Amino acid sequence: MTPTKDGGTPTPRPKTQGPGHDPHAKTAETFDRRYAYGIIALMAGMVMTVMYIEGMLTPSLPQIKDEFGVDYGQVSLVLSAYLVTGVALSPIAGKLGDVYGKKRVLTFVLVIYAAAVSVTGFSPTFPFMVGSRAVQGVGLTVFPLAMSLVREEFPREMIPRAQGLLSGLFGAGFAVSLPLGAFVSNTWGWRWTYHSAIPLVILLTVLAFVYLRESPYRRPNAFVDYLGAAFLAGSLSFIVLGLSQGPVWGWTQWHATSVLGLPLGVPELFAAGILLLLPTAYVEVWYHRASKEIILDPRLLGMRNVLVVNLIITIAGFGMFLGFQAITFLLSDPTSVGGYALDTFHIGLSFIAFAVPMLIFAPLASILITKTGTKPLTIVGSLVGAIGFLLATQTHSLDELLAAMFVTGAGIAVLNASVINLLVLTVEPREMGLATSMNGTFRNLGSSLGAPLAGSIMSTYIVYAKTQVPGVPVPVPVPYPGSTAFLYTFMIAAVVMAFAGVLAVFGREILGKRAVRGALASDERDPQETDRGLPSQTKEPAVAASRSS
């Protein structure tokens, strides 16, 4: 790339049909507009349905806790069980999509998900429900597979808007799931939230099988790291169980109970989780030395943007679920202990204050991102989310809490819409299934730890209030999370959200004016240079995309 004679901005050299040429890459002239937008519509339906099914139970957690007679820490397993499974299955599903085809794997995933959703609503016991929710975690693999398929069908300059739209639909899923799920739960019971979702999942499964085309990017000889996924899931399961049971068994109590004849306590659970990381690390290193691809591929993680995005997603998911869990019980607590005494339906309505800004700011961020770049919006989103959680620590009325939720939702929307583009525009399409699935692993890792930690904090800082209990003639003291529990939870969430913004500083910009300057400077240094954090075949399109905006 050389400057023009008049000193103007140089234009990128035309791309040659060399080794880096991608014959399947879509351009503004060659992509199938009708099919591409059809995929967006179908994936939007999948995202909204999965988010509805996963979000509809959030307002019902107090109801589930009372029905099964469990405590605050244990009921958090309803949220974390499917996340633990998602941690293990996301990279497996992504790699299988690279091997056998993303459409085939996505259809298979939807069939299993539909079966798990159908069963969960009939759970006779709490352990059965947690187990079925764990199987239901396969639904989380829909997101990376959907992102990969969308990435393949749009030209590069349109990807940020397409990804931003999908990110905005996370908010739409919450907007539908929380009030609608709360209404169904409050009227007919939480089980009917599952029964009502069964036809939607079946319909989406049929549409995916009939409408979707198979991905042209296939890697039939790719290695699938089942062993690494099993070790990682086992390690995380022990740690999550320890977090949820700490307030019940005691954080330092060894041999607190007996499970299948084995004495177990929280120290044993934490020790088992940490020890399982050792064979996980050994297996990963051994596979890597054998030149095989593993669940946490160090080659991809060695790329700056991939590592930065995965770390941001991990701690953002941790902070988000930490806050959600606390807000749910703060809204349901009686006023005598500082809560707002809302029923299930009104808890769901309150979460609209979080969902609506996601619908507004995620699409807005996807429009601005080609001008501002990904890093500034990621930093702004992280800091705004942190401010929202800090505001939640200072609320004294329901209106103030709803305002804090609105600010938090706006920040998380901007963060999600911007940071995902830092990943999908860096990684080559043939590795997109692995990269997005690995990203899903990190997202689920943070989320699966956030919910049980919130439950642990709320179970630790308990206050008692006299409450009328059905079947008891006089009010009796009932334990509730105290104001200290909510204060600590929101403060932790604010800190981790702010830290996500700090991490974004270390990413390499791929859109906006800074990306153009970086590409020009790199080209002046060495026309053949390949940046590890930004593959050489993506630099020139980044310049073109920025100019076209």
Q: Where in the chain is the domain with CATH 1.20.1250.20?
A: 33-225+293-463+477-507
Can you read off the two tokens belonging to residue 106?
Answer: 């996505």
Contacts with 496 (C-beta within 8 Å, 6 or more apart), sequence order:
315, 316, 318, 319, 322
- pLDDT value of residue 491: 95
Residue 387, CA distances (Å) to 158, 230, 326, 410 in order: 31, 38, 16, 11
Of 417, 209, 444, 117, nearest to 310 by C-alpha is 444
Of 192, 288, 277, 179, nearest to 236 by C-alpha is 277
pTM of the complete model: 0.69
Looking at domain 33-225+293-463+477-507, which CATH architecture does it have? Up-down Bundle (1.20)
- In whole angstroms, what is the distance from residue 453 CA to residue 451 CA? 5
- In whole angstroms, what is the distance from residue 317 CA to residue 447 CA? 5
- The DSSP symbol for 13 reads P
Residue 470, CA distances (Å) to 57, 122, 185, 334, 480 in order: 23, 24, 19, 16, 17
- In whole angstroms, what is the distance from residue 477 CA to residue 132 CA? 33
- Cα angle 473, 476, 478 (rounded to 5 degrees) comes to 140
Residue numbers in the chain where pLDDT is lower than 70:
1-30, 72-73, 87-88, 156-157, 160, 163-165, 167-176, 220-225, 243-248, 256-262, 278-299, 429-434, 436-437, 448, 468-472, 512-549
| Cα torsion angle, 517, 521, 527, 529, sign | negative
- pLDDT value of residue 9: 43
- pLDDT value of residue 174: 61
